[in-house]
Structure 1
Amino acid sequence: MNTLWEGLEQAAMLLWALDPDLLEITLLSLRVTVTATLIAAAIGLPLGAWLAVNRFRLRRHVIALLNALMGLPPVVVGLFVYVMLSRSGPLGVLGLLFTPTAMVIAQVIIITPIIVSISHQAIRELWADYHDLLISLNATRRQRIATLLFDGRRALLTAALAGFGRAIGEVGAIMIVGGNIDHATRVLTTAIALETGKGDFGMALALGFILIGLAIAVNFTVHALSRTERGSRW
């Protein structure tokens, strides 16, 4: 019990003093995750809209595969990226292993199927409402997709935030491809694992509080956007 209270007290002091290491780890986590989310959204949102608008033979299989990839084990992603970026791998010449870039690549692979699936569901519902209107206006496929993306922007932002929430709490793949290097690739989740193993519960708790705060902020934002989206449809 004393250890717990001491850890909480130390964590409060670190947060209050804005400890430099704490800030460095938090900012790197945000930089990596925000970058990965933007890239995944740039890929996933148009792809989700394209799947909702277009019909082709293997469409259902592609959607089923993307839904299955939402549960892709992060450690498998980390292993795949590690093999690709290692010196003996096909992309080893780039020297990206154990860098923030490798962490971004792993997170993009993990969260892109999530963003695609959620955006596809949202755009499919809009497409059912807009189908006759857009067809009657003789809109091209690109115009249809652009219209649906604009009108469903709140739902699509929710999809991006869901991807961000998934990425910010990732540890397995990040540990493998980042290496948890101090002042280089140490982020919130890997730092928590390290500090807990070292017995530095104060730093671990401070990092944990920041991670919880980010998760709560994302969930509140998703909830608010979902309520706004529902209200705008009535």
Structure 2
Amino acid sequence: MDFFGQSFSAALHLIWSLDPEMYFIVYVSLSVSFFSTLIASLFGVPLGFAIAVSRFPGKRALITVLNTMLALPTVVIGLLVYSFLSRHGMFGFLGLLYTQKAIIVGQVILILPWVAVFTMAAVSRIDQRYRKTALTLGATRWAAAWAVAREARFGIFAAIIAAFGRVIAEIGIAMMLGGNIKGFTRTMTTAMALEHNKGEFVLAVALGIILLTVSLLMNIGLQLAQGRYGDKR
């Protein structure tokens, strides 16, 4: 217990002292997680919305594939992307391996199914008569779709936040595609793993505190927004 208390106290002091190495690690994590979530949302939200409101051959098969990909191990994605980005891979000439861009590519593949599936679930909960009524009243297909999206917006936001939480806490892709290079591709999770292996727990505990705080603040923000929306309704 004394060991934990000392480590926790030293970690708080490290956070308060604004250690540049630690905060650069935090910056890298937030940066790659933000851009991977943004890209995945740009593709995943329209995909999930289209699946929810459309009927087409193979819809059930597509949903099954997306649901299966929710459980896809990060090391499998890392290995797959590594095979394409390595020197002898199909896209090796791009020189992306062991860069932040490589991490983003892998993380987009990881969370795109999350965004699509949870968006689909959020839109599916909206009464389909809402969209049909809008079309009957003369709204265009885009206007009707936008009306449904507005009704489902907090479910969609929750999907995006869940995806962000998934990538900021993952380690396999960041380690395999980023290489855990100090001052370049080291993220909070890979740094925590490295510090643990070295037996240095202060930085690991400090990064763990920051990681939990980021997740907590994002979820608090979503809950407050949902509460205000519910009160207005």
After TM superposition, the score normalised by the length of structure 2 is 0.92
Q: What whole-Å deviation, never above 9, does each CA across 1:112-136 have from its counterpart, x for those lacking one?
A: 1111111111112225241321331
Opposite residue 201 of structure 2, the aligned amino acid is F
Residue of structure 2 in register with 1:52 after alignment: 52
Residue of structure 1 in register with 2:117 after alignment: 117
After TM superposition, the score normalised by the length of structure 1 is 0.92
Identical positions, percent:
38
Shift of 1:138: 4.8
Q: 1:70 touches 1:114 (CA, 8 Å); kept in 2?
A: yes
| Alpha-carbon spacing, 1:127–1:64, altered in 2? closer, same or farther (3 Å) | farther
**CA distance in structure 2 between the aligned counterparts of 1:222 and 1:63, rounded to whole angstroms:** 27
Q: What whole-Å deviation, never above 9, does each CA across 1:134-192 have from its counterpart, x for those lacking one?
A: 33135444443333223322221111111001111000111100100000100000000
**CA distance in structure 1 between the aligned counterparts of 2:131 and 2:146, rounded to whole angstroms:** 13
Residue of structure 1 in register with 2:32 after alignment: 32
Opposite residue 45 of structure 2, the aligned amino acid is L
| Bigger mean CA offset, 147-156 vs 134-143 | 134-143
Residue of structure 1 in register with 2:181 after alignment: 181
Residue of structure 2 in register with 1:147 after alignment: 147
Q: 2:195 touches 2:201 (CA, 8 Å); kept in 1?
A: yes
Residue of structure 2 in register with 1:163 after alignment: 163
Opposite residue 27 of structure 1, the aligned amino acid is Y
Shift of 1:99: 0.3
Q: 1:49 touches 1:148 (CA, 8 Å); kept in 2?
A: no
**CA distance in structure 1 between the aligned counterparts of 2:146 and 2:86, rounded to whole angstroms:** 39
The alignment covers a number of residue pairs equal to 233
Q: Secondary structure at the match of 1:126?
A: coil
Q: 1:78 touches 1:173 (CA, 8 Å); kept in 2?
A: yes
Shift of 1:220: 2.4
Q: 1:123 touches 1:152 (CA, 8 Å); kept in 2?
A: yes
Residue of structure 2 in register with 1:194 after alignment: 194
**CA distance in structure 2 between the aligned counterparts of 1:229 and 1:121, rounded to whole angstroms:** 20
**CA distance in structure 1 between the aligned counterparts of 2:165 and 2:36, rounded to whole angstroms:** 11
Residue of structure 2 in register with 1:65 after alignment: 65
| Bigger mean CA offset, 138-147 vs 182-191 | 138-147
| Bigger mean CA offset, 120-129 vs 135-144 | 135-144
Opposite residue 102 of structure 2, the aligned amino acid is A
Residue of structure 2 in register with 1:86 after alignment: 86
Q: 2:85 touches 2:94 (CA, 8 Å); kept in 1?
A: yes
